[in-house]
A and B are shown apart, each in its own frame.
Chain A
Amino acid sequence: MKHLLAIDDLTADDIHRLLELTDHMVEISGRPIPKVPALRGKNVVSLFFEDSTRTRTSFDTAAKRLSADTMNFTVSSSSVSKGESLRDTIETIAAMGVDAFVVRHRSSGAPQMITRWTNASIINAGDGWHQHPTQALLDCYTIRMGLNRRDGFDGLHVAIVGDIRHSRVARSNVQAFAALGARVTLVAPPTLLPPSLEGWPVEVSHDLDSLLPDLDVLYLLRVQRERMDDALLPSLHEYSLLYGLTDARAARLPPHALVMHPGPMNRGVEMVADPGELPGSVILNQVTNGVAVRMAVLFWLLGSGGDLSEAP
C-alpha cells in the first residue's frame, strides 16, 4: 500500500489490520514517554489548501510520536497565493525530499492527481465532498473500543444524521461501517441527501425519532451554516427541532448507544444537549483515537515496508 486516498481502496481485512495496528499506537501514546523511533528520518509534509486545525494538529502529533520530521505548508503563507499551480507547488516541495504528503483540498480528486507528480506517499486528509478516510478509520476504532466489537460490526445499527450531501465524512464512513458489517441508516431532510444513493449500502429515513430506540451508534454531522444561503434548509431552528440531539432524544437511545460527532460542533443546532453530560458521548475519544489511527496509517505507508503481514 503506497497511498491512502479513499476507504474503498481498502478491503475489510486491511481495515481490521489497521485497527489492530492502532492498538499498538494507543499503547505507545499512553507511555510515560510517548515516542518511538520507528519513522526516524522520514519527512512528512502537511499540505492544507483548506482550513483545518484539528486534523492537521492530529497528523502532526502522530508523525512526531513516530519520530518523523514534519513540515507544514498552508495556503495563505505560500506562493499558491502568488499564483503558483498545484503541480508546481508539489514538485517544488517534493524536491526538498518528502516521504509523505498529507493533503487537504477543496476539490474532490486532488490527492489522486498529486500521486502522478511525486513518488511520495499521499494521504488524503479530506478532498471536497469526496473522502476523508482517516476520519472513517478513527470512527471505526472508536466504535470498536466503545462497544467492544473487535471482530467487526455485524448486527450494529448506525445512523448518520445531517448534511450527507456535502459530507466527505459521510461518504467515507458509510463505506467503512458497511465494510465491517454494520447496518447504516442515513437520516436527513431530502435536500441534504445526495441526488442519487445508487450503490450506497444504506437505508434512508427522514424520521430520527422513530429510529432512536434501535440505534447502537448515533453519528451527528455538522450542519454548515452556509447551506442556509443555498436555500437547502428553511431555518437552523427547524433543522434543530427535527434532527437536533436534545436531552429528550438522548434519553430515548438505548443505554449502551454511542453518540459521535466529527467536529467542529454547532451547539444549539445538531447538538442541543450538552455533550459533556451525555453518557454515551465518545466525541473526545474520537479526537484521542484520531492521533493513534493516523500513527497507524503513517507507519503502514512509511514504516512497514509497504505491507502489513498477517500475524502468523
Chain B
Amino acid sequence: MLDLDMTPYAAFVWPAWGVSALVLAALAARAVIASRKWKRELERLEKDQSATSDAADSNRPQVAQSAVGPKE
C-alpha cells in the first residue's frame, strides 16, 4: 500500500527525495544535451571535410573509372 503520509518527518523525507530526483534529472539532461551537441558538431565537420576532400579529388587528373573500380 502506497504511504505518502510522512508525518512527522515530512520536512526531512520529501526534501531528501526531491533534491535527489532534481539532481539525477539534471545530470541526465546535461549528459544528453552535451552528447547531442557534440554529435551534431562532429557530423557537421565530417560532412564539411568529406565535401572538401571530394572537391580536391575532382581537381586531380584521374585514369578511367573502369581501371580503378568503384569508389568506396
Are A and B interaction partners? Answer: no
Taking beta carbons and an 8 Å cutoff, which residues of A are in contact with B? none
